[in-house]
Structure 1
Amino acid sequence: MEMGLTPIVCIAQDYIQGKPVDNLRLRQAILELPDNKTEHLPGYLPLAPGMPVLLTENVASENGLSKGTRGILRQFVYDESPEDVRYQDKNFPPNTKFITQPKYALVEFPGCKLDDKLLDLESKMISIAVTEQTFSFDTKELLPANVAKAAKINKKTTKLSVKRKALPLIPVYSMTTHKSQDQTLAKIIVNLVMPPGPLKVASIYVPLSRVKRLEDLLIIRPFEFATLQIKPSTAQKEELKRLDRIAQNTRKRFQFIV
């Protein structure tokens, strides 16, 4: 079934010891985990035709379909399920349609290296199927304080192994500095207000260097000028010196080779 105009959210399917998570509180807590704690498979995946998406795993690296590749969602195919009506979330509009049985998504990847069409699909159109990943979830925060304390004293684990089935896609309206590495973007909006903690040169250099022209860069809000004055750490300086020595030795060794 194709999506209509109703908001669509694809719900990941989570399993513990081979069984679906049926405890509502536990299920909600696992679904709300950030994707960097679930092997990059989101619990909630909002979908709309034409939206930009990002692959979260290597599908066919040799053909340019690897983790971090940008694409455009063109169609979403799924099965209807009685489970769909059980999900309600205040973070989404009341008329949101929740999907628990996705089959695949058709995504257009402009940078795909496949020269031929796949079956009857248009060029650069790839079918992205549901995938599986396993991650751990610590139930400590869901347990009463005395139970969590007793588990710690008795050295009993409060972690669960969760297997998730979901589409390996995330919306790409925004991304972290880490995920933007190695990408050249058309236009970007950057937030240079840094979170608490130690800052690194890459935290500033990477987002500011994603575009080719200054006019394609917009800094979203005021920031501390000191942010631009971050200097490389001692370890980074030593690494740069090491690489420079290697480069010099290489030039000396192969100076007569054309």
Structure 2
Amino acid sequence: MKVGEVTSTSSLVQEWIADATKGAPLITYTNEVRDIHNHRMTRAYAEATHQEHIVYYAVDRVGKGSDRIVLKGQNAEDAWNTPPKQAANDLAGRLSLAIGMPVIVTENVLVKEGISNGSRGILEGIEYYTDSGRRHATSVTVKLVDYKGVSRSVDIPYVIKDITYKKAGVADPYRAKRQQVPIVAGFACTVHNSQSMSVTNAILH
């Protein structure tokens, strides 16, 4: 199987639709493969479940205090193109989401409630606003299952983290503050993040 070769009728997608807690995640050594597979699986999942494939964009700001401004135009595009794992604390510039899909939390958002980096769940809802035709998520509702098998729905708000990004023709990186919900699709993960996982099936790449 080549990475990302999936359609709405693919058995990989249908397994996740039948039971999103028992689908077979792709486990890979690289973040690039993880991100490609997650994006294409999300698109296929949305089509298979008759949803619109929607991308939620990060809000990136530069400056300090009251002088901070939101990046627009090509500056925003440059920041959104930043590899999320290496330079953006795993906060995606462009985050593809569809209700019912598996997701992984990437931040220790509610540690006292047992929700931390690596927690896995099912996406149930998305709160967002629209600016210039783009959607920006402010929070997501995720159904999580704890180690005792007890499930619950939790609202996870956006976080703000430092990122670095590059502009074409400029050697030195730029810095910004990124606002994004701290989740990624759960169709794929790296070997490192899979160490504490308990799954019925998996695909090794």
TM range (shorter): 0.5 to 0.7
Question: Which of 61, 69, 77 is equivalent to 2:119?
Answer: 69
TM-score, length-normalised on structure 2?
A: 0.67
Q: Which amino acid aligns with 1:39?
A: N
How big is the alpha-carbon RMSD for the aligned residues of Structure 1 and Structure 2?
2.1
Counterpart residue number, 2:135 = 99
Q: C-alpha separation between the residues in 1 aligned to 2:71 and 2:110?
A: 31
Unaligned runs of 5+ in 2: 1-49
Structure 2 counterparts to residues 191-210 of structure 1, below 5 A:
191=205
2:59 aligned partner: 13
The verdict on how the C-alpha distance between 1:181 and 1:10 changes in structure 2, with shifts beyond 3 A counting, is same
User: Which residue matches 1:143?
Assistant: 169
Q: Taking structure 1 as the reference length, what is the TM-score of the superposition?
A: 0.54
* Alignment check: 8 A CA contact 1:134 1:161 kept: yes
Partner of 1:26: 75
Where 1:162 maps in the other structure, the secondary structure is: strand
Q: Contact 2:78–2:166 at 8 Å: present in 1 too?
A: no
Match of 2:84 among 13, 24, 35: 35
- The separation in 2 between residues aligned to 1:14 and 1:112, in whole angstroms, is 35
What letter corresponds to residue 31 of structure 1 in structure 2? W
How big is each residue's C-alpha offset from its partner over 1:150-170, in whole Å with a ceiling of 9 and x where there is no partner? xxxxxxxx2322100000000
- The aligned amino acid for 1:107 is V
Which SS does the other structure have where 1:175 is aligned?
strand
2:108 alignment partner in structure 1: 58
Q: Which has the higher contact order (CA 8 A, sep 6+)?
A: 2
Give the number of aligned pairs.
150
Q: Report the secondary structure of 1:26's partner residue.
A: helix
Deviation at 1:60, TM superposition (A): 2.2
Deviations 1:37-75 (A, max 9, x none): 201101111111110000010022233211011010011
Structure with more helix by fraction: 1
Q: Deviations over 1:91-133 (max 9, x none)?
A: xxxxxxx412x231110001178x8xxxxxxx61000111100
Q: Which runs of 5+ in 1 are unaligned?
A: 86-97, 116-122, 149-157, 192-258
- Contact kept, 8 Å, 1:112 with 1:124, in 2: the verdict is no
Is the 1:64–1:112 contact (alpha carbons within 8 Å) kept by the matching residues of 2? no
Higher strand share: 2
**Partner of residue 176, structure 1:** 190
1:73-84 to structure 2, matched below 5 A, reads 73-79=123-129, 81-83=130-132
Query: Can you list the C-alpha shifts for 1:180-219, whole angstroms capped at 9, x where unaligned?
Result: 121111210001xxxxxxxxxxxxxxxxxxxxxxxxxxxx
Instruction: Give, in whole Å, the separation in 2 of the partners of 1:77 and 1:46.
Output: 14
Higher-Rg structure is 1
The residue identity in structure 2 corresponding to 1:65 is: I
